[in-house]
């Protein structure tokens, strides 16, 4: 909860004013039973003017209570809304800045539920705390104080029940945090399945696996229901137990009150007022109980939010003393690089190569050979475990992030398009002129189909670009990568949906128009990398062949087999 308190500090002034207004409204409400008791006992039967005066006073206090409570509640709603907005914004920004390893650890579905469900739980508690966190204690303590003043003996009966209620609420609520933490983990699992099914809906329908996905969803849904039911049953016992205890107290008060009235030690008016206060105290206790239940949800959610917000930055900029420059004329250097995702088995081992400025590198190999991992290390999504990666002779660990990422234009394997115009998808929030957009689409072989739309570059794409073909989507993504005229262009399996003729035209346009850009191409097809100045063949994270196309045909059996199996040795030029 420290993280939540940290966000509330900026609202201390507004919250304090709201608490004062709420206090005044609650005190006005507390006076009503006392005034009623006075009217019943001392005013009725006297001059009508006195009845009107005291009745008017009750109306005045009722109005003050109503107006002040409404004002305080509106202020509470505004504070909780702004608080949640600020926390949600920071959580979203932090999520975007997490390293790839941290994202893998939290998982995307869990991050989604933390930004949505968890912030909602915290928002609800902060709102309730401001509305009831002042009113309930004042009603409780104020009611007890007034009843002690009115009739000490009756008050003792009611006060005797309070320790039992507090002990019950405390021990049950203590179990709530781990229970609701488990519920949120089940929510993460359900979000994961829903997210996977939403993204793969076409495949699911094409393979007639709707029933299978129903069963998979039903499994995580039942697990969530089970966890929610357990938490709800345990936390739900608070209200019934408290109600029983309060009713027992009411019965005891009525019985003792009747006995005192018959003995002349008390009056009916006092007992009537006392029962009204007892009702107010009961309602205050119910509110306290609700806050305890909400607190357990809030504490569990706040803990999950804090885990993300307090995650240390693990991809940091290092000093030149730690990672000195390397003397080289090459633009990009991998120097004996090894890396493992899980710290047990190397996914890449002893990877070394150099690319001159304006040169081109092709990476090819079987699925799972480590091709995309090389790109992830070059982009510093992860840090290499051993060896060094250099750009212009500088270890990439020493480059400022803004400077570093400005060098790259990338069309990655699982890239995305969003619901906006084609032009905005290519610009991607960057200050890029339309001339550069048009140039990029010409190189990427995308201008023809874009201009074929009635609204051209203003054509609006659906989320994930589902209203265009796979090949068209890849060409828009390549256009995005080219548009800012990057120093290094990365194409990670970004032409797999293109036909051979379009792929060949793309490669030719890149050679003719981006001679000063270093191009790194990851592909499954030999035709996509055969014109690269340097090609590396990967197998299980190791380089088993390196050289140009002709050299590999002669000296690398695996490359020759891939080439012959795909094209019979012939290529579309």
Concatenate the DSSP letters of all residues of 438-452 into one string: HHHHHHTT-HHHHHT
Looking at the structure of the chain, the number of domains it has is: 3
Any domain includes 204: no
The neighbouring-strand residues paired with 365 are: 538
CATH number of 263's domain: 1.20.1560.10
User: Could you tell me if 49 and 179 lie in one domain?
Assistant: yes
Strand order from edge to edge, sheet including 386-391: 348-355, 332-339, 386-391, 394-395
Tokens linked to 451: 């201009």
User: Could you tell me if 456 and 337 lie in one domain?
Assistant: no
Give the distance, in angstroms, between the CA of residue 454 and the centroid of all CA atoms in the same chain. Answer: 38
pLDDT tens digit sequence for 348-405: 999 999 999 999 999 998 888 889 899 999 999 899 999 999 999 999 999 998 889 9
Give the pLDDT band (50/70/90) at residue 173.
low
User: Could you tell me if 121 and 33 lie in one domain?
Assistant: yes
Tell me: pLDDT of 573 over 70.
no
CATH number of 345's domain: 3.40.50.300
Asked if residues 109 and 195 have their Cβ atoms less than 8 Å apart, the reply is: yes
Q: What mean pLDDT is predicted for residues 521-534?
A: 88
Q: Please give the Cα distance from 140 to 130 (Å, whole number).
A: 16
Which phi and psi (to 5°) does residue 407 adopt? -75, -25
SS3 content of the chain, % helix, strand, coil (to 5): 65, 10, 25
Domain span including residue 543: 324-407+489-494+516-568
If residue 542 lies in a helix (H) or strand (E), which one and from where to where? strand 542-547
User: Could you tell me if 399 and 434 lie in one domain?
Assistant: no
Please give the share of the chain, as a percent, with pLDDT higher than 90. Answer: 26
User: Could you tell me if 339 and 464 lie in one domain?
Assistant: no
Tokens linked to 98: 């997490």
pLDDT tens digit sequence for 484-500: 999 999 998 888 778 88
User: Could you tell me if 144 and 88 lie in one domain?
Assistant: yes
User: Could you tell me if 432 and 285 lie in one domain?
Assistant: no
User: Could you tell me if 388 and 291 lie in one domain?
Assistant: no
Any domain includes 548: yes
Any domain includes 499: no
User: Could you tell me if 420 and 275 lie in one domain?
Assistant: no
Any domain includes 317: no
Any domain includes 80: yes
User: Could you tell me if 107 and 16 lie in one domain?
Assistant: yes
User: Could you tell me if 152 and 266 lie in one domain?
Assistant: yes
Please give the share of the chain, as a percent, with pLDDT higher than 70. Answer: 95
Any domain includes 212: no
Q: Please give the Cα distance from 468 to 453 (Å, whole number).
A: 11
Mark which of 256, 278, 309 sits at the end of a domain.
309
Please tell me the pTM assigned to this model: 0.71
User: Could you tell me if 400 and 421 lie in one domain?
Assistant: no
Any domain includes 214: no
Mark which of 485, 507, 527 sits at the end of a domain.
485
């Amino acid at each position: 909860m420290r993280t939540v308190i940290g966000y509330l500090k900026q609202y201390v002034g507004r919250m304090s004013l709201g608490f004062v207004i709420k206090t005044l409204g609650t005190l006005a409400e507390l006076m009503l039973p006392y005034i009623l008791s006075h009217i019943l006992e001392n005013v009725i039967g006297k001059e009508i003017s006195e009845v009107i005066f005291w009745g008017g006073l009750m109306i005045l206090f009722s109005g003050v209570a109503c107006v002040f409570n409404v004002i305080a509640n509106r202020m509470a709603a505004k504070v909780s809304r702004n608080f949640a907005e600020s926390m949600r914004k920071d959580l979203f920004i932090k999520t975007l800045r997490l390293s790839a390893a941290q994202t893998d650890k939290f998982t995307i579905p869990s991050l989604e539920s933390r930004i949505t469900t968890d912030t909602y739980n915290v928002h609800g508690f902060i709102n309730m705390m401001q509305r009831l966190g002042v009113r309930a204690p004042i009603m409780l303590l104020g009611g007890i104080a007034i009843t002690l003043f009115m009739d000490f003996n009756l008050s003792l009966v009611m006060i005797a029940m309070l320790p039992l209620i507090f002990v019950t609420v405390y021990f049950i609520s203590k179990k709530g945090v781990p229970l609701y933490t488990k519920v949120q983990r089940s929510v993460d699992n359900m979000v994961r399945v829903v997210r996977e099914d939403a993204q793969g809906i076409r495949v699911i329908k094409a393979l007639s696996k709707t029933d299978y996905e129903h069963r998979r969803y039903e499994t995580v849904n039942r697990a969530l229901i089970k966890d929610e039911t357990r938490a709800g049953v345990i936390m739900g016992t608070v209200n019934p137990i408290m109600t029983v205890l309060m009713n027992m107290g009411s019965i005891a008060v009525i019985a003792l009150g009747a006995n005192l009235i018959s003995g002349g030690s008390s009056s009916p008016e006092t007992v009537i007022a006392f029962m009204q206060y007892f009702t107010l105290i009961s309602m205050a206790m119910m509110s306290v109980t609700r806050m305890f239940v909400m607190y357990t949800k809030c504490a569990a959610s706040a803990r999950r939010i804090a885990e993300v917000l307090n995650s240390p930055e693990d991809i940091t900029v290092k000093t030149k003393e730690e990672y000195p420059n390397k003397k080289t004329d090459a633009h990009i250097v991998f120097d004996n690089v090894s890396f493992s995702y899980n710290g047990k088995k190397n996914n890449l081992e002893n990877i070394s190569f150099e690319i001159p400025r304006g040169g081109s590198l092709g990476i090819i190999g079987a699925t799972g050979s480590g091709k995309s991992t090389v790109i992830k290390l070059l982009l510093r999504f992860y840090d290499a475990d051993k060896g060094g990666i250099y750009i212009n002779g500088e270890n990439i660990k020493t480059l400022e992030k803004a400077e570093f990422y400005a060098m790259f234009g990338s069309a990655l394997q699982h890239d995305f398009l969003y619901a906006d115009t084609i032009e905005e998808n290519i610009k991607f929030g960057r200050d890029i002129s339309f001339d550069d957009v048009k140039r990029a689409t010409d190189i990427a072989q995308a201008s023809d189909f874009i201009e074929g739309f009635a609204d051209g570059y203003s054509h609006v794409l659906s989320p994930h670009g589902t209203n265009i073909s796979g090949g068209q989507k890849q060409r828009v993504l390549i256009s995005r990568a080219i548009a800012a005229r990057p120093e290094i262009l990365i194409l990670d399996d970004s032409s797999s949906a293109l036909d051979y003729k379009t792929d060949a035209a793309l490669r030719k346009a890149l050679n003719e128009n981006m001679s000063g850009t270093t191009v790194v191409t990851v592909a499954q097809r030999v035709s996509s990398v055969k014109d690269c100045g340097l090609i590396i063949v990967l197998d299980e994270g190791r380089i088993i062949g390196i050289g140009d196309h002709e050299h590999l045909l002669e000296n690398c059996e695996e490359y020759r087999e891939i080439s012959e199996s795909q094209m019979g040795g012939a290529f579309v030029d």
